Amino acid sequence: MNALDLWVKETHQDSVALGFKVEKTLFSGKSAFQQVDVVQTKGHGAMLLNDGIIMVSERDEHIYHEMIAHVPLYVHPAPSRVLVIGGGDGGTVREVVKHDNISRVVMVEIDEMVVNACREYIPSISHSLDDPRVELIIGDGVKYVAATEEKFDVVLIDSTDPIGPAAPLFDRQFYQNAAGILEKDGIMISQAESPFYDFEIQSAMLANQRPFFKRLHLYTFTNLTYPGGLWSFGFGSNGLCPLTDFDRNRFNASRVQTRYYTPEIHVAAFVLPKFVKENLSDMLDPIPPLEKAFVK
Ligand code: SAM
């Protein structure tokens, strides 16, 4: 008998579909927030899906997680305390704790089922959740930033698309509260969707962030499992510039191992394709001339 021809198929805006061949289902459950599935794929290793939308796959997750974590951590001159909102797979935390100077990481994930499924079935991504510097809080990131009295050097918003419990993570009030818990040199990075397909979400998100950050930028990276292949993060800071305040010597001197992130990739990521720049120019700060990027 032939094996079943099973595929994960993610459709986007009813016009594009992305498919990955599935070998077997590792976990399937329904939480109070969403359907959570982990499947073993033929070409991309284990893959997490929330409500049928691909969150991470083992084959390429390092790109997303290295770019969300190392970009701000090598711009901030002395990052010590990091807050992660969402990020239940643990990949962002894994990259953050590679930095010896990080003393505390708080991760606030709304859905314990995501964390438990990833702990059990994708340890290559989730293993650093047990690092002693990490405090895992199962709760709503929106409520957490509104209530906490703690301050952070870097806030990383590793969220799903703006649907269901993640929708308020794209609101103005949330960004105001997140900016309010940043230290003087603080930086906030936010999952900013596809520059091709999600222009409306992206521009609304940046317009909501703009009033609370002295500098606001967007940077892009490759992602093989999200529609369009090109993905982005927002970079908001109390003044630090992602290029002139970037210290490549700190990266070169550190023992941090990466597979995608390099100082050159860091700088190049802020050079936006022309259509993205034109779409968003009234919200973003211009980047300085590239030769100023490697002054440190
Ligand atoms: N890299 C992924 C992407 O862009 O698709 C994000 C992955 S991570 C698994 C996103 C997590 O955000 C999900 O597990 C989801 O449960 C969590 N999340 C959604 N809304 C949240 C909220 N309000 N507070 C905390 N976590 C939330």
- Say yes or no: 109 and 31 in one domain: no
Ligand 1 pocket member 115 (CB < 6 A): no
Look at residue 239 in the predicted model and tell me its pLDDT.
Answer: 97
Nearest to residue 237, comparing CAs of 70, 75, 63?
A: 75
Q: At 245, which CATH number? A: 3.40.50.150
Ligand 1 center to residue 160 CA distance, Å? 4
- Say yes or no: 115 and 240 in one domain: yes
Ligand 1 center to residue 181 CA distance, Å? 20
Residues sharing a CB contact under 8 Å with residue 282, sequence separation 6 or more, in sequence order: none
Ligand 1 center to residue 37 CA distance, Å? 14
Active site residues: 158
Position 294 confidence tier, pLDDT thresholds 50, 70, 90 = confident
Number of domains comprising the chain: 2
Ligand 1 pocket member 111 (CB < 6 A): yes
- Say yes or no: 203 and 267 in one domain: yes
Beta-strand pair 81-86/104-109: parallel
Answer yes or no: is 151 within a domain.
yes
Answer yes or no: is 83 within a domain.
yes
Ligand 1 pocket member 160 (CB < 6 A): yes
- Say yes or no: 72 and 42 in one domain: no
d(C-alpha 80, C-alpha 102), whole Å: 4
235 and 187 Cβ atoms separated by less than 8 Å = yes
- pLDDT of residue 261 exceeding 80, the answer is yes
- Say yes or no: 44 and 102 in one domain: no
Position 291 confidence tier, pLDDT thresholds 50, 70, 90 = confident
Look at residue 259 in the predicted model and tell me its pLDDT.
Answer: 98
- pLDDT of residue 198 exceeding 90, the answer is yes
- Say yes or no: 167 and 200 in one domain: yes
- pLDDT of residue 4 exceeding 90, the answer is no
Percent of the chain with pLDDT over 90: 93
Which amino acid residue places its CA nearest to atom 27 of ligand 1? 86
Look at residue 65 in the predicted model and tell me its pLDDT.
Answer: 98
- pLDDT of residue 296 exceeding 80, the answer is no
Residue pLDDT, tens place only, 69-100: 999 999 999 999 999 999 999 999 999 999 99
Answer yes or no: is 2 within a domain.
no
The domain containing residue 114 runs over which residues? 61-294
- Say yes or no: 47 and 179 in one domain: no
Answer yes or no: is 115 within a domain.
yes
pTM for the model stands at 0.97
- Say yes or no: 107 and 82 in one domain: yes
- Say yes or no: 52 and 89 in one domain: no
Residue pLDDT, tens place only, 48-65: 999 999 999 999 999 999
- Say yes or no: 41 and 73 in one domain: no
Look at residue 1 in the predicted model and tell me its pLDDT.
Answer: 52
Write out the two tokens for 86.
């969402």
- Average pLDDT, integer, range 7-16: 92
